[in-house]
Chains A and B, each alone.
Chain A
């Protein structure tokens, strides 16, 4: 039986009476890529922030690598990483300096070698001395992914990492991510509003709305069950629209 990397049990969080997460439970097994879907304000990012320890849940438990997150945060976080297109690396530092700072934060052994390796994988060696502010949006997103992979994380939380990127950049990013996920057996929780991204990368999908889990399964299972059709291919776009409009 595969090891459980992340276990979220009965998570509840509300803000001034507004219920953002309403008793959700899910788990991720080693090497699994879970697509975490839902409309804006559904509670995806709040769930991720709870997992990162940046928001304290009202109720529920989070276990990562079998350990209680609340009591072992720093220890656990050395093997976890996070990226979101919403957040940048410091603008005035060049790419290499940024990665070197984060390598120190995560205490990456042989940091310079790991940075060089990642820059090569992501075809970013030419930008190593360029300040983040001078990089295009696509390259910046790749830089964030490099940062997220620095410590060879066992659990990677990606919150719309490729938002506002053109399809070509997304395609390259997804393929690189798939490659490195396979090589390093990373478990990934991935949110996106681009259904193609999720169909490409996720083994399983959870759909949440109003803080509740509405559906879960493989992309194909969701398509068949939610849309009630004998589909041969996943169609998460229609699943998304259907579930978003379900009261």
Chain B
């Protein structure tokens, strides 16, 4: 892994963001708008129900944004190179595809940190919700969310490699296929039995269960954490294997040079 080349990819996206201010929408404005919406809903729920339920909703939303943004961002930033007709120039350089993906991942990491800080500030100031009340556990929950989002992003990129940019819009939609089963805003046990089975094999459903446990009992839920971690390892291995398989296939079929 050559980090100078990874840095070059990061630099390319920093320059792009400087010129396309609408990309700030993705980083700050969109998460903040979502937070405002859910903040008011939580406030309403807090008045008619309990403070705890409001915290579940707001906490769920803040953590969901981590997954949604990172998983789509990796695919979208990859698509940018195709739309710019720059992908061949990039891949004809000394960079390896893994270095390229690491660059895209780093950019997503930077963006999600900025988004998280904006949401943390907004939630604290306007809705008196301290995501940091999750304590040290927040970092562990966050890591698991991020890892699953990266697996998902790698899967997304593999699909674009295989089927071309016409499949691009799926990049935005795919995370929402996971949402009903991920138990973001409600516990897994309210799902129908078959859906519960699906939910338990999705790492982030354990993350959200863990978040609710911590907010309710004030203790970190190690069970959920380890389950999410183990599942994440399996998903990461699966997405890397899938990507490697697809990459070899597109090199052989010549599809890589027909991406544009």
Q: Report A's interface with B, CB cutoff 8 A.
A: 13, 15, 45-46, 49, 52, 54-56, 73-75, 77-78, 81-82, 84, 86-94, 97, 100-102, 104-107, 131, 144, 147, 157
12 A-B pairs, CB-CB below 8 angstroms?
A54-B91, A54-B92, A54-B256, A81-B92, A81-B93, A82-B89, A88-B86, A91-B84, A92-B19, A93-B12, A105-B90, A131-B19
Please tell me if B193 contacts chain A, counting CB pairs below 8 Å.
no
Contact of B8 (CB < 8 Å), options: A49, A77, A81, A102: A102
Closest residue of chain A to B100 (Cβ to Cβ) is A105
Please determine whether B88 and A104 come into contact, CB atoms closer than 8 angstroms. Answer: no
Interface size on B, residues (CB 8 A): 35
A100–B19 touching, CB < 8 Å? no
Give A54 to B260 CA distance when docked, in angstroms. 14
Establish whether residues A105 and B15, one from each chain, have CB atoms under 8 Å apart when the complex forms: no
Q: Which of B11, B85, B96, B251 contacts A55 (CB 8 A)?
A: B251
Q: Among A94, A104, A157, point to the contact of B5 (Cβ < 8 A).
A: A104
**Taking chain A's interface residues, is the majority helix, strand, or loop, or is none over half, making it mixed?**
mixed
By a CB distance below 8 angstroms, the chain B residues around A93 are 12, 15-16, 19
Chain A proximity mask over B218-260: 1 for CB below 8 Å, otherwise 0: 0000000000000000000000000000001001111011001
Asked if residues B94 and A15 are in contact (CB atoms below 8 Å), the reply is no
Q: B246 → chain A, closest Cβ, in Å?
A: 13
B20 within 8 A of A: yes
User: B47 near A: Cβ within 8 Å?
Assistant: no
Contacts A87-B260, A147-B89; A77 near B94 (Cβ below 8 A) = yes
Cα–Cα, bound, A81→B91 (Å)? 11
The answer, yes or no, to whether B95 is at the interface (CB within 8 Å) is yes
Nearest B residue to A14 via CB reads B254
Pairs of residues from A and B, 8 with the lowest C-beta to C-beta distance, nearest first: A104-B8, A77-B94, A105-B8, A82-B92, A56-B251, A90-B84, A92-B19, A97-B15
Shortest C-beta distance, A77 to chain B (Å), equals 4
Q: A87-B88, A88-B86 are in contact. Are A105 and B20 (CB under 8 A)?
A: no
**Inter-chain contact B11/A101, CB cutoff 8 Å:** yes
